[in-house]
């Protein structure tokens, strides 16, 4: 199930949105301000963000800017939900980094349609990046051996066994939630391992990790056991 972060200082609206989206099959987290939302996202990233603009502590515009400046928040779909309806407000929202902007009051069906469209677009972009990385690897690298981490062209990864399991899953295009389900750990544990992997390989994000893997001939060999606990 896709995970959505709702950010709004109006508790009544947050509750209504949460209940509606949960009824549509989404997992929903809530935050009352941009500052709280940023902390929640860094702790446990979601698949999409819906945020108000005018909020205490940190408004939605600043939240969006800071989120886009983080490694995990660069590509996450972001929708503004605001009572500020002027053209200049909508333009500012898009220029800040939002993918869409919906003016209050709004229809829940329209918000759901925008959420589904952004998630589908994100899925297509991610799939295309994976396809291009694989296509590039096929044309530039020789066929990988059964255990690529022990070949001359692909040296052993400087990772723990748990991190290496997450590495193989990430380069196949799985999300943190999917990896957690496959390895029987929480998405937060997956994110911790992924952060360690990126740090050890001196990379900024998972897209760079995918490029790194395919350019260096790291292809998941047949028979990788994904059923063991990645914590062990």
Count of the separate structural domains present in the chain: 2
Rounded to the nearest integer, the mean pLDDT of the chain is: 82
Residue 8 and residue 52 in one domain: yes
| pLDDT tops 70 at residue 61 | yes
User: How confident is the model at residue 136, as a pLDDT?
Assistant: 59
Residue 155 and residue 101 in one domain: no
The pLDDT of 109-130, averaged and rounded, is: 85
CB 57 within 8 A of CB 33: yes
The pLDDT of 106-122, averaged and rounded, is: 91
CB 84 within 8 A of CB 53: yes
CB 147 within 8 A of CB 221: yes
Residue 7 and residue 94 in one domain: yes
Residue 100 and residue 20 in one domain: yes
| pLDDT tops 50 at residue 54 | yes
Q: Residues 142, 145, 150, 156: is their CA dihedral positive or negative?
A: positive
Domain span including residue 86: 3-121
102-107, Cβ contacts within 8 angstroms, sequence gap of 24 or more: 106/81
Residue 88 and residue 21 in one domain: yes
The answer to whether position 130 is within a domain reads no
Residue 150 and residue 92 in one domain: no
User: In which region does residue 45 sit, left (phi positive, over 0), alpha (psi from -120 to 50) or beta (all else)?
Assistant: beta
Q: What is the pTM of this model?
A: 0.62
CA atoms of 84 and 49, how far apart (whole Å)? 18
Residue 17 and residue 104 in one domain: yes
The answer to whether position 42 is within a domain reads yes
The pLDDT of 14-23, averaged and rounded, is: 94
CA atoms of 122 and 99, how far apart (whole Å)? 11
Residue 13 and residue 117 in one domain: yes
Residue 18 and residue 115 in one domain: yes
CB 23 within 8 A of CB 1: no
Tell me the pLDDT tens digit for each residue of 182-209.
888 888 888 889 989 999 998 888 778 8
Strand partners, 49: 5, 78
Residue 117 and residue 160 in one domain: no
Supply φ then ψ for residue 80, to 5 degrees. -85, 140
The answer to whether position 129 is within a domain reads no
Residue 104 and residue 19 in one domain: yes
Q: Give the CATH number, domain containing residue 22.
A: 3.40.50.2300
The answer to whether position 133 is within a domain reads no
| pLDDT tops 60 at residue 139 | no
CB 159 within 8 A of CB 42: no
The answer to whether position 77 is within a domain reads yes
Residue 96 and residue 168 in one domain: no
Q: Give the CATH number, domain containing residue 191.
A: 1.10.10.10
Tell me the pLDDT tens digit for each residue of 82-107.
888 888 888 999 998 999 999 988 99
The pLDDT of 52-75, averaged and rounded, is: 90
The answer to whether position 13 is within a domain reads yes
The answer to whether position 126 is within a domain reads no
User: How confident is the model at residue 39, as a pLDDT?
Assistant: 92
The answer to whether position 229 is within a domain reads no
Tell me the pLDDT tens digit for each residue of 6-16.
999 999 999 99
């Amino acid at each position: 199930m896709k995970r959505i972060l709702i950010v709004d200082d109006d508790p009544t609206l947050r509750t209504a949105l949460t209940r509606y989206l949960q009824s549509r099959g989404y997992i929903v987290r809530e935050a009352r301000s941009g500052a709280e939302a940023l902390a929640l996202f860094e702790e446990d990233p979601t698949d999409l963000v819906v945020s108000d603009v005018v909020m205490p502590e940190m408004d939605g515009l600043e939240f969006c800017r800071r989120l886009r400046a983080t490694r995990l928040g660069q590509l996450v779909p972001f929708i503004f939900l605001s009572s500020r309806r002027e053209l200049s407000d909508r333009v500012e929202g898009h220029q800040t980094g939002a993918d869409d902007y919906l003016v209050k009051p709004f229809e829940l069906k329209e918000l759901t349609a925008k959420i589904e469209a952004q998630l589908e677009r994100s899925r297509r972009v991610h799939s295309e990046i994976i396809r291009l990385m694989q296509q590039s690897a096929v044309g530039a690298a020789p066929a990988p051996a059964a255990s690529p981490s022990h070949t001359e062209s692909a040296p052993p990864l400087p990772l723990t066994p748990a991190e290496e399991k997450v590495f193989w899953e990430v380069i196949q295009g799985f999300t943190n939630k999917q990896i957690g389900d496959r390895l029987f750990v929480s998405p937060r544990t997956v994110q911790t391992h992924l952060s360690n992997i990126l740090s050890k390989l001196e990379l900024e994000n998972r897209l760079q990790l995918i490029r790194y893997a395919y350019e260096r001939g790291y292809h998941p060999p047949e028979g990788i056991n994904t059923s063991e606990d990645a914590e062990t």
